[in-house]
Structure 1
Amino acid sequence: MKAFLHRKGVYPSFQQYILTSLSYMALGLFASLIIGTIIQTLGNEVPFLPQAFVDVGAFAIQPIIYGGAIGVAIAHGLKAPPLVLYSALFAGSYAAEIGGGPAGSFLAALIAVEIGKLVSKETKLDIVITPLVTILVGFLVASSVGPPIASLLEGFGSIINWATDLRPFLMGMIVAALMGLALTAPISSVAIAVMLDLQGLAAGAATVGCAAQMVGFAASSFRENGFGGLVSQGIGTSMLQIANIVKKPIIVVPPTVAGMLLAPVATVWLQLENNAIGAGMGTSGLVGPIMLVETMGSQPVVWWSIVLLLILLPAMISLILSEWFRKKGLIQDGDMKLDA
């Protein structure tokens, strides 16, 4: 059985079904829901842009569109053969359209793709059998477990949102730390935030935590990585540091502490709110700040919050802590050096 599964490219594991699949799900979200929301926001906020921006964005964020993008992205990530990859579009789209949301699309596409890979090229009627099986499996999974799983995750997210509203100081710190670490780890923080449907203060805290990881690592490692590292981590991803974190886990402490210290400022004093997309993005592609403007409006307090809580303060706190760690010998030069 193991030999058969490997021959078909099926490797059941945490790496494949969580790390890889969630990462590719995030790419599907980027290519549909996230970029669509950005385009729509620009169309609404920038006076001279044509109405087409709003229309294009509104189309891209429809469940049937982002669900299909998730399905194809997961199939691509799991190295599905062509007929399975194209059929996965149905699994993702149908799950999202019937109320399964991103979580339903993820589950339906994942199972449909793996079953589709098992039957691919096993018969002379492959051009019929493979898409038929993949589509039917996607339909069954989406219909039976997609909406309940989506409701379960959204319910859990609602508890997080509720708890953060009730105890913004403590929960803000916890959410910022966990979401920030998820962003830096080889897992998709934006996929988690979207599936949990983080909103309001919880999403604001998550945005601060994610931004602290990115900007914090960019500032802390500037002496090793220079301007290129500043940009690649500050508006790219702090995931670039994962290999260094495995070697020297203490380097993740400064940006994590920065996020935890700043989260209560966002949740208690500034009442910073965001949506699920911005919650898991931090400053990556400036999506977090854009979604803050989308959620709270283009007000002076929002822009000051972006500058202070997402850029200046996390950079300063992380740099101060990392330099103190260097003086104590806990971090040495080269520990945060990125591979060229």
Structure 2
Amino acid sequence: MIAFLKRKDVSLRPHDYFVTALNFMALGLFSTLIIGLIIETIGKQLTMLPNFSTFLIDMGSLAKTLMGPAIGGAIAFGLRAPPLVIFASIVSGAAGATLGGPAGSYVAAVISTECGKLIHNETKVDIILTPLTTVLVGFSVATFIGPPIGGLMTYFGEIINWSTKQQPLLLGILVAVLMGLALTAPISSAAISLMLGLEGVAAGAATIGCAAQMIGFATTSYRENGVGGLLAIGLGTSMLQVGNIIKNPLILIPPTVAGAVLAPIGTMMFPMLNNAAGAGMGTSGLVGPMMTLSVMGFTGTVFIKILLLHFVGPAIISLVLSEWMRKKGYIKFGDLKISTER
């Protein structure tokens, strides 16, 4: 059995299912739901160009509806499935999303992909049995497992949303820190946010925590990485620092503290709201700020809040703390240098 699974590239390793699959799920989400929301938001603001506005809104709406199929195909691709399984997993992801939301889509895609890989090239009617097995397993999982999984994640997310409103200080800090660390770690904070359905002040706190990690690392590592690193980390991903964190975990302190300090300000003093699509993205591609604007409105006040809590605040707090740690020898020059080799 072990030899068979190895031959089929079915590892059963948690890393494949909770790191790789989630990361590729995030790519599927970004390519459909998130980019669709961005396009739709832009379209709604271009009221002076009604025809173009309608064009963008229709485009964004269509992109959003394809979330499930994109998750299925992306996860299958990430799990190194053969083409027949990848294309059939599109159906699995669609079924999972319809019956169990993003979480249902994830579960249906993962299980059907691995089952499809097992049957692939084992018979002379592979072109029929491989997609048949993948679709059958995916739809079955979506039907019987998707709803309870999706319901559980939604319920858990509702508890987080409600609790953050009741205890904005403690829960705001906790949500910001945990989501920020998830964004920097090799797992997908965007996928987690969407599966939980974060919204309101909880999503606002999560956005602040994620932005603090990205802007914080971008600022504190500027002397090692220059403008290129500043943009790659600040608008790309703080995940570029994972290798450095393993070498010196102390470099996590400045951006994490920044998120913990700013989160209560965003939940109590100057309430910041967001939706699930923007909560786990931080400043990556400016999705977090863009979704904040779409929820709170395109006003000067909101722009100032975003500037202070997503950009200026994290930069100042992280830089001050990191400079102190450098003077104390906790962080040394080169500790934040990102590799350009891939």
Aligned to 2:95: 94
Q: Does the CA contact (< 8 Å) of 2:44 and 2:53 recur in 1?
A: no
Match 1:54 to one of 35, 54, 57: 57
Q: 1:30-89 CA distances to partner (integer Å, 9 max, x unpaired)? A: 111000000000000133343110011111112xx1000000000000010011000000
Counterpart CA distance in 2 for 1:279 and 1:301 is 20
Cα deviation for residue 280 of structure 1 reads 0.1
Cα deviation for residue 3 of structure 1 reads 1.2
Counterpart CA distance in 1 for 2:219 and 2:293 is 25
Q: 1:296-329 CA distances to partner (integer Å, 9 max, x unpaired)? A: 1112221011110000110010000000000000
Counterpart CA distance in 2 for 1:197 and 1:46 is 28
Aligned to 1:137: 137
Counterpart CA distance in 1 for 2:20 and 2:97 is 20
Counterpart CA distance in 2 for 1:153 and 1:202 is 15
Give the SS at the match of 1:53.
helix
Give the SS at the match of 1:61.
helix
Counterpart CA distance in 2 for 1:50 and 1:36 is 14
Aligned to 1:171: 171
Aligned-partner residue type, residue 165 of structure 2: D
Q: Does the CA contact (< 8 Å) of 2:225 and 2:337 recur in 1?
A: yes
User: When the two structures are superposed, what TM-score results if normalisation uses the length of structure 2?
Assistant: 0.98
Aligned-partner residue type, residue 67 of structure 1: G
Q: Does the CA contact (< 8 Å) of 2:209 and 2:256 recur in 1?
A: yes
Aligned-partner residue type, residue 170 of structure 2: L
Give the SS at the match of 1:207.
helix
> 1:257 aligned to 2:247?
no
Aligned to 2:69: 68
Runs of 4+ in 1 over 4 A off after TM superposition: none
Counterpart CA distance in 2 for 1:311 and 1:117 is 45
Q: How does 1:20-59 map to 2 (within 5 A)?
A: 20-47=20-47, 48=49, 49-59=52-62
Aligned to 2:205: 205
Aligned-partner residue type, residue 46 of structure 2: V
Counterpart CA distance in 2 for 1:277 and 1:104 is 17
Counterpart CA distance in 1 for 2:329 and 2:270 is 37
Q: How does 1:118-137 map to 2 (within 5 A)?
A: 118-137=118-137
Aligned to 2:107: 107
Q: How does 1:1-340 map to 2 (within 5 A)?
A: 1-47=1-47, 48=49, 49-62=52-65, 65-98=66-99, 100-340=100-340
Give the SS at the match of 2:287.
helix
Residue identity (%): 56
Aligned-partner residue type, residue 243 of structure 2: A
Q: Does the CA contact (< 8 Å) of 2:29 and 2:67 recur in 1?
A: yes
Counterpart CA distance in 2 for 1:12 and 1:326 is 42
Counterpart CA distance in 1 for 2:135 and 2:40 is 31
Give the SS at the match of 2:265.
helix
Compute the RMSD of aligned alpha carbons: 0.7
Counterpart CA distance in 2 for 1:305 and 1:191 is 25
Aligned-partner residue type, residue 215 of structure 2: V
Counterpart CA distance in 1 for 2:146 and 2:68 is 12
Residue-pair matches, total: 337
Aligned-partner residue type, residue 51 of structure 1: T
Counterpart CA distance in 1 for 2:121 and 2:301 is 59
Counterpart CA distance in 2 for 1:269 and 1:301 is 14
Counterpart CA distance in 1 for 2:177 and 2:265 is 14
Query: Where does structure 1 lack aligned partners over 5 or more consecutive residues?
Result: none
Counterpart CA distance in 2 for 1:79 and 1:46 is 42
User: When the two structures are superposed, what TM-score results if normalisation uses the length of structure 1?
Assistant: 0.98
Counterpart CA distance in 1 for 2:46 and 2:247 is 45
Cα deviation for residue 97 of structure 1 reads 1.8
Aligned-partner residue type, residue 72 of structure 1: G
Q: Does the CA contact (< 8 Å) of 2:24 and 2:74 recur in 1?
A: yes
Counterpart CA distance in 2 for 1:316 and 1:46 is 34
Counterpart CA distance in 2 for 1:13 and 1:151 is 26
Query: Where does structure 2 lack aligned partners over 5 or more consecutive residues?
Result: none
Counterpart CA distance in 2 for 1:181 and 1:94 is 31
Q: 1:104-154 CA distances to partner (integer Å, 9 max, x unpaired)? A: 000001000000000000000000010111000001100001011001011
Counterpart CA distance in 2 for 1:185 and 1:294 is 27
Q: 1:179-220 CA distances to partner (integer Å, 9 max, x unpaired)? A: 000000000000000000000000000000000000000000
